């Protein structure tokens, strides 16, 4: 049996705008044992970004941010069509919570989103392009946007712009704006909603790519572009690796503690 | 058939100190279809840390840092005993390269190591404890230590202490110490060797835990402990989340650009 390509799947699903459900045809094809394949890319199909957001919000409360984004997307495919998605050890993704084991490094939502993109992007170049868009959207957007229909914690939720993909910076920024603590139930609810936003954006970006309609809308800031002209690949110094916003750490008087 | 526990496997392997190979008995048990299980923890068995390092060095040149650490460990189990390991979509792990798609966030070696720990740790508490040890070792150790038997690039390799789990900081620190560029072949070779070191340490930590002999030897620095007394959970401010060393960013005059 000829294996299905990504575009075949899109065609088979017979998806019109606003229609996101799998057709039974696709389910049968994918559920066959021959469809099992560890090699990438795995087949992606159109998912409703709002359903991904709803599921990510719930999944966050089961396994935190990285798990929430990953499970809300790949978990839908594990239900239908089934394999190879359902053999994935989803619980592994709990490791990314709080910037990996509470270290505050990369936001777990983004770590999960990048892993999802890593599963489905057709090439490494495509994966980098889509990840850039997801990460730059996160840096520049006032989050969380998502409002759950049945919130675990019904509060007026303050938004903040992180200017960083790092959990530590993102959390501190939100604490400053909101006046809430970093370990309170309000912050937990904030991260659940942010997880929903990140899952939704990941689906939208992948969907755009699958349809050949992806166009990145978030670019490097002028400040970061200027820094990179000296420090990044090909620059006079070429002593720095990264795409993160430079201004989160290297400007505004630096990060010196005020008492020192 | 009764499924095997982690300790059963250790016993079945009949491993004495210095003997790391799987017994055929273990291979047969694990290769059976009933051994396939997406739920965690997956069974870990003793692996030679030096073989993991050798493989990680080679794997780095196939898929970079995160892939290198993950594949060098889980990939051994995919060869024998086979499932569930061999169904894992290893190529997904290429997403972590250069702190995820070149963003310079979490070092890909650590992202891979934490994912491995997430697969095999018996509980979330254990996973956090083991990840703390891996990350604190990385922050405080002059790396790379590993010297390949057949180097891809035969150079005298400078070592640096990153004082950070972030790729961006780790790379810049090494560039400063070594005088090499961030995108040169020397830096690539440095990261291949660092990937080997991280795979070896991940195996050693998991092995210690599997044998009930794990004892963390790396602790928070006095400076970070002092910062956390105010800023972390239960502190007066409680406005910060993280375990990263504070001094990498918040001390030594901050990170203000010298020309500003």
- A197-243 pLDDT tens trace: 999 999 999 999 999 989 889 999 998 999 999 999 999 999 999 99
Cβ within 8 Å, pair B254-A255: yes
Report, as an integer, the average pLDDT of A16-39: 41
Is the domain of B174 the same as that of B251?
A: no
A38 domain-assigned: yes
Considering only residues B52 and B8, tell me which one the structure prediction assigns the higher pLDDT: B52
Residue A4 banded pLDDT, cuts 50, 70, 90: very low
The CA distance from B52 to B198, in Å, is 9
- The answer on pLDDT for A18 being more than 60 is no
Residue labelled with tokens 């502190």: B235
- Please check whether residues B180 and B246 belong to one and the same domain: no
- Do A135 and A109 share a domain, yes or no? yes
Pair (A230, A203) in one structural domain: no
Tally the C-alpha atoms within 13 A of residue A120's C-alpha that lie toward its C-beta. 29
Is A229 in the same domain as A205? no
pLDDT at residue A192 greater than cutoff 70: yes
pLDDT at A37: 57
* Chain B residues within 8 A of A233 when measuring between CB atoms: 182-183
**ipTM here:** 0.87
- In a domain, residue A146? The reply is yes
Predicted pLDDT of residue B16: 34
Task: Flag the least confident range among A19-33, A79-93, B67-81, B212-226.
Answer: A19-33
A195 burial level (CB within 10 Å; 0-12, 13-18, 19+): buried
Q: Is residue B1 part of a domain?
A: no
Query: Which residues in chain B have their CB less than 8 angstroms from residue A106's CB?
Result: 99-100, 103, 105-106, 111
Residue B179 domain-assigned (yes or no) = yes
Decide if A17 is inside a domain: yes
Inter-chain CB proximity A131 and B93 less than 8 Å: no
How far lies A36's CA from each of B34, B72, B73, in Å?
17, 23, 23
Q: Of the candidates B89, B106, B168, which has its C-beta nearest A100's C-beta?
A: B106
> What domain range is B113 assigned to?
6-210
Q: What percent of chain B has pLDDT over 70?
A: 82
Per-residue confidence (pLDDT) for residue A215, from 0 to 100: 87
Residues A132, A174 within the same domain: yes
Q: Does B212 touch chain A (CB under 8 A)?
A: no
Question: What is the DSSP track for A136-201?
Answer: HHHHHS-B-----SS-SS------B--SSSBHHHHHHHHHHHH---TTSHHHHHHHHHHHHHHHHH
Note whether residue A1 is domain-resident: no
B126, B232 Cβ separation under 8 angstroms: no
Contact A210, A223 (CB under 8 A): no
What does the pLDDT read at residue A233? 95
Summarize pLDDT for A73-121 with one digit per residue, the tens: 999 999 988 999 999 999 999 999 999 999 999 999 999 999 999 999 9
In-domain check, residue A77:
yes
Check whether residue B188 and residue B244 sit in a common domain: no
Answer yes or no: do B87 and B190 share one domain.
yes
How many domains would you assign to chain B? 2
The helix, strand and coil proportions of chain B, stated in percent and rounded to the nearest 5, come to 55, 0, 45
pTM of the model: 0.87
DSSP B123: S
Q: Are A170 and A228 in the same domain?
A: no
CB contact under 8 A, A119 and B89: yes
- pLDDT at position A25: 29
| Whether residues B38 and B98 fall in one domain | yes
Q: What is the mean pLDDT of chain B?
A: 86
Q: Mean pLDDT over all residues of chain A?
A: 86
Asked if A203 and A249 sit in the same domain, the reply is no
The pLDDT value given to residue B32:
42
On whether residue B229 sits in a domain, the answer given is yes
Q: Are residues A81 and A206 in the same domain?
A: yes
For the segment A130-145, the average pLDDT, to the nearest whole number, is: 98
């Amino acid at each position: 049996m000829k294996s299905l390509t990504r575009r075949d799947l899109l065609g088979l699903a017979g998806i019109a705008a606003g229609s996101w459900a799998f057709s039974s045809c696709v389910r049968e094809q994918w559920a066959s044992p021959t469809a099992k394949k560890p090699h990438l890319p795995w087949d992606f199909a159109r998912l409703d970004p709002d359903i991904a957001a709803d599921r990510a919000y719930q999944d966050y409360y089961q396994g935190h941010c990285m798990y929430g984004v990953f499970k809300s997307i790949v978990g839908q495919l594990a239900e239908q069509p089934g394999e190879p998605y359902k053999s994935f050890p989803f619980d592994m993704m709990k490791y990314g919570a709080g910037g990996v084991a509470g270290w505050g490094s990369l936001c777990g939502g983004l770590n999960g989103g990048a892993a999802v993109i890593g599963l489905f992007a057709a090439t490494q170049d495509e994966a980098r392009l889509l990840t850039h868009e997801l990460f730059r959207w996160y840096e520049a957007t006032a989050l969380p946007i998502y409002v759950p229909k049945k919130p675990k914690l019904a509060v007026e939720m303050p938004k903040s712009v992180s200017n960083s993909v790092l959990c530590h910076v993102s959390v501190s920024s939100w604490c400053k704006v909101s006046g809430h603590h970093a370990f309170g139930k309000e912050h937990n609810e904030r991260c659940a909603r942010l997880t929903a936003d990140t899952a939704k954006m990941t689906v939208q970006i992948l969907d755009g790519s699958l349809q050949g309609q992806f166009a990145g809308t978030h670019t490097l800031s002028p400040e970061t572009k200027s820094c990179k002209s000296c420090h990044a690949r090909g620059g006079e110094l070429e002593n720095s690796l990264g795409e993160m916003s430079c201004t989160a750490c290297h400007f505004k008087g630096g990060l010196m503690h005020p008492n020192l």
